[in-house]
Chains A and B, each alone.
Chain A
Amino acid sequence: DQQVKQNSPSLSVQEGRISILNCDYTNSMFDYFLWYKKYPAEGPTFLISISSIKDKNEDGRFTVFLNKSAKHLSLHIVPSQPGDSAVYFCAAGDTGTASKLTFGTGTRLQVTL
């Protein structure tokens, strides 16, 4: 069962515009969420996180929104830059188990000139 879902395998956005990447989860025990960015032949790089006690977290051009009732989170990138082109993974964890992250299948973002 896919507990973390990223339904859009790819997204193309023009430079300077907003990129919105979406993620849905099913496990109510998840209480913190992270976004990772991955370039080819590299490991995932941490981008931003949010705890379930918040509904928004902002870090520079990156903002993550959490809607607990809908079990949905999104990552906004404004303005998008060509260097943002990568695969973005949504991940969720349960502080109670203090262990594994469950990842989505990723969304490939391409920022065009």
Chain B
Amino acid sequence: GAGVSQTPSNKVTEKGKYVELRCDPISGHTALYWYRQSLGQGPEFLIYFQGTGAADDSGLPNDRFFAVRPEGSVSTLKIQRTERGDSAVYLCASRKGRGNTEAFFGQGTRLTVV
């Protein structure tokens, strides 16, 4: 597609439920990132995929968070047993290969846990 697409744009869920957030990167971009942005903060790194594999998952806050990218394109961020503190905007970005090139962001998914 023309840009990074994230669905849904908004998600409200009850505490304890499971959620999946989807990211469709720019076609041909091999690198894909997930970030989380809380109110008044900058985006914080969660996980990075190069192709199908998670090359760096050091930003995932705990084992309730998991992400996959089975075919090297679309990625899904999965959050189990959601907590109110998980409420944030989840941003996905893709980049063309390695090196110091810019990453292009999607519009984000606003997750609210009530």
Q: Judge whether B48 and A45 touch: CB under 8 Å.
A: no
Interface residue? A49 (CB, 8 A): yes
Interface residue? B14 (CB, 8 A): no
Q: Which of B47-65 contact A (CB under 8 A)?
A: 48, 50, 55-56, 59
Q: Judge whether A98 and B99 touch: CB under 8 Å.
A: yes
Contact-size category for A: 20 to 34
Interface flags for B81-113 (1: CB within 8 Å of A; 0: not) read: 000000000010100001110111111100000
Partner of A44, one of B44, B59, B91: B91
Partner of A51, one of B33, B100, B102: B100
A89 in contact with B42 given A43-B91, A99-B56, A100-B48 (CB within 8 Å): yes
Interface residue? A103 (CB, 8 A): yes
User: Which B residues touch A51, using CB under 8 A?
Assistant: 100
From A32, which residue of chain B is reached at the shortest CB distance?
Answer: B100
User: Which A residues touch B45, using CB under 8 A?
Assistant: 99-102
Q: Judge whether B105 and A100 touch: CB under 8 Å.
A: no
User: Which B residues touch A36, using CB under 8 A?
Assistant: 105
Contact-size category for B: 20 to 34
Q: Judge whether A97 and B56 touch: CB under 8 Å.
A: yes
* Complexed CA–CA distance, A9 and B106 (Å): 24
Interface residue? B70 (CB, 8 A): no
Q: Judge whether A93 and B100 touch: CB under 8 Å.
A: yes
Q: Judge whether A105 and B100 touch: CB under 8 Å.
A: no
Partner of A43, one of B98, B100, B108: B108
Q: Judge whether A49 and B100 touch: CB under 8 Å.
A: yes
User: Which A residues touch B106, using CB under 8 A?
Assistant: 43
Q: Judge whether A43 and B42 touch: CB under 8 Å.
A: no
Q: Judge whether A43 and B4 touch: CB under 8 Å.
A: yes
Q: Which of B11-44 contact A (CB under 8 A)?
A: 31, 33, 35, 40-44
User: Which A residues touch B103, using CB under 8 A?
Assistant: 46, 101
Q: Judge whether A100 and B33 touch: CB under 8 Å.
A: yes
Chain A residues proximal to chain B, CB less than 8 Å: 4, 6, 31-32, 34, 36, 41-46, 49, 51, 89, 91, 93, 95, 97-106
Pairs of residues from A and B, 5 with the lowest C-beta to C-beta distance, nearest first: A103-B42, A43-B105, A100-B45, A32-B100, A46-B102
